[in-house]
Amino acid sequence: MPGIIGRDRFREVADAALELPGADDVEVLFLHEWGGLTRFANSEIHQSTSREDTALRVRVAIGGRVGVAQANDFSPAGAVVAARSAKEMADVVAPDPLWAGLAGPASFADVDRFDEDTAQISPGQRADSVGGLIAQVPEGYRAAGAYETQAMEVGVATSTGQTCWGPMTQASITTVVTGDEQASGFAERFAGTAGELDAVAIGATAAGKAVDSRSPRALDPGTYAVVLEPNAVATLVGFLAFIGFGGRDYIEGRSCFSGRAGEKVADETVSIWDDASGDGMLGLTFDFEGEPRSRVDLIRDGVFVDTVYDRRTAKQAGRTDGSTGHGLPSPNPQGPFPLHLFMGAGDASLGDMVAATERGLLVTRFHYANVVNPMESSITGMTRDGTFLIENGEIAGPVRNFRFTQSILGALSAVSMIGRDSELASEFFFSASRVPALKIESFNFSGASDH
């Protein structure tokens, strides 16, 4: 079984690149990933995988001219080859006027996010857990899903004196239970360790939702009050990050928040921030440029505060306090991105939200969302795997899936209740964020499907 390579060996390999002759500055980003995934469908394990890979990504700067090369040959020789290739590219380009240099010495929060048991979990242990999940599925129903365990170590070393290194693990179980009469139910759980996952409970939740969703009735599209479970909220938050919270889009007038600092953009109960060090979050506390990941308030009490920055974008913005520690692996023309999002919890239970809804929809999750108009923060997507009509404060029965086309900020401005529990929830395209359930008084469903 693969294991941690370690800070010392990383630094030893990185040094071979950092000593490249003729370069002003050199940065080495080291990624080492290993893990396994047990995938199941039709209540059988059908695809089970394991993989290990390393990457050395070397950025070379000469007078502001920058080139990058990556190789997965983790050795001093591999590092030298990548460094030379990066220099070859730097030699032929013009200086980047926004070049902000490399990270210097800085400390970062010491948060232990590595679990040896998760890193070393066996295929048999994953299979047994999947078996426990599938056992919750009633006769006539089928479970599909995946149990994934991942371990990673990341290192950044710069010729300007910064060395960061850290390991992390994460584990997730996702399942969809389906049956006749268009029954479909979903459940998932993300965590830093496999020990936090209860496969039986996840299976029972999805199975219960599938049974409850049999024979959904067709309902006309239109504007409804909605109760969104955390996974559906994660879609809204993930896309808002994609189209709005990146510093580059913001300062270039391409974000829905451009020019709106200090403006009310959501209900005053809504707060969203990014915090890699926060409780219950996954990941490391330094970014891919070796900068400490700072907590950044994005929306506080409904008011837009700021976006996130990497070194280059911070220079572009003229920020005196530099990067917020949200750089992605270079080169990254798209700019920085928040990978550790939180939405503040409230005081309501899901039951409270349903009870407070005269007529509306309970949405388990959204599917395949995409941007309609980034400047209006509008996106479209489908509901999936458990959509229910609420009438007079009670679940009245399942309904067929809807297409929504909705401004995210419009939805967040119509939030009336916030769940007291937050969950790490994934989005189809982005990383997981920690979010609560929401009740939103007005949400636009623009079309419907046949199931």
- CB contact at 8 A, 149 and 130: no
Give the whole-angstrom CA distance, residue 214 versus residue 207: 11
Q: Interface with other proteins by CB under 8 A: which range of 163-171, 196-204, 227-235, 324-332? A: 324-332
Q: Which of residues 401-420 bind other proteins (CB under 8 A)?
A: 401, 403, 405-407, 410
3 binds other proteins (CB under 8 A): no
Query: CB-based contacts of 147: which residues, under 8 Å, 6+ apart?
Result: 37, 38, 126, 129, 130, 133, 171, 172, 173, 197, 199
Please state the closest distance from residue 48 (CB atom) to other proteins, in A.
Answer: 5
Write the single-letter amino acid at 82.
A
CA 145/CA 177 separation, integer angstroms: 9
According to the binding rule CB under 8 A, does residue 120 interact with other proteins? no
Considering the rule CB under 8 A, would residue 107 count as an interface residue with other proteins?
no
Residue 97 CB, shortest distance to other proteins, in Å, is 6
Structure-block tokens of residue 392: 């007079």
Query: Site residues for other proteins, window 130-169 (CB under 8 A)?
Result: 130-131, 134, 142, 144-146, 148
Is the Cα dihedral 21, 23, 25, 31 positive or negative? negative
Q: Match 């591999």 to its residue by tokens.
A: 78
Q: Which of residues 235-294 bind other proteins (CB under 8 A)?
A: 252-254, 259
Of the candidate spans 17-25, 65-73, 340-348, 386-394, the one that interacts with other proteins by CB under 8 A turns out to be 65-73
Q: Does 215 bind other proteins (CB under 8 A)?
A: no
Both tokens assigned to 445: 């469903």
| 310 binds other proteins, rule: CB under 8 A | no
Rounded to 10 deg, the angle between the 7-18 and 76-92 helix axes is: 40
Contact letters for other proteins, residues 8-47 (x by CB under 8 A): ----------------------------xxxxxxxxxxxx
Tell me how far, at minimum, the Cβ of 25 lies from other proteins, in Å.
16
Which stretch of DSSP H or E encloses residue 118? helix 116-119
Q: Which of residues 351-380 bind other proteins (CB under 8 A)?
A: 367-376, 378-380
- Which of 12, 72, 180, 181 is the binder for other proteins (CB under 8 A)? 72
Binding status of residue 100 toward other proteins by CB under 8 A: no
Q: Is 220 a residue that touches other proteins (CB under 8 A)?
A: no
Q: And the tokens for 35?
A: 């893990």
Cβ pair 228, 422 in contact under 8 A: no
Residue selected from 192, 230, 381, 419 as contacting other proteins according to rule CB under 8 A = 381
CB 260 within 8 A of CB 269: no
Under the criterion CB under 8 A, does residue 67 sit at the interface with other proteins?
yes
Integer CA distances (angstroms), 227 to 232, 380, 419, in order: 9, 17, 10
177-206 binders of other proteins (CB under 8 A): 178
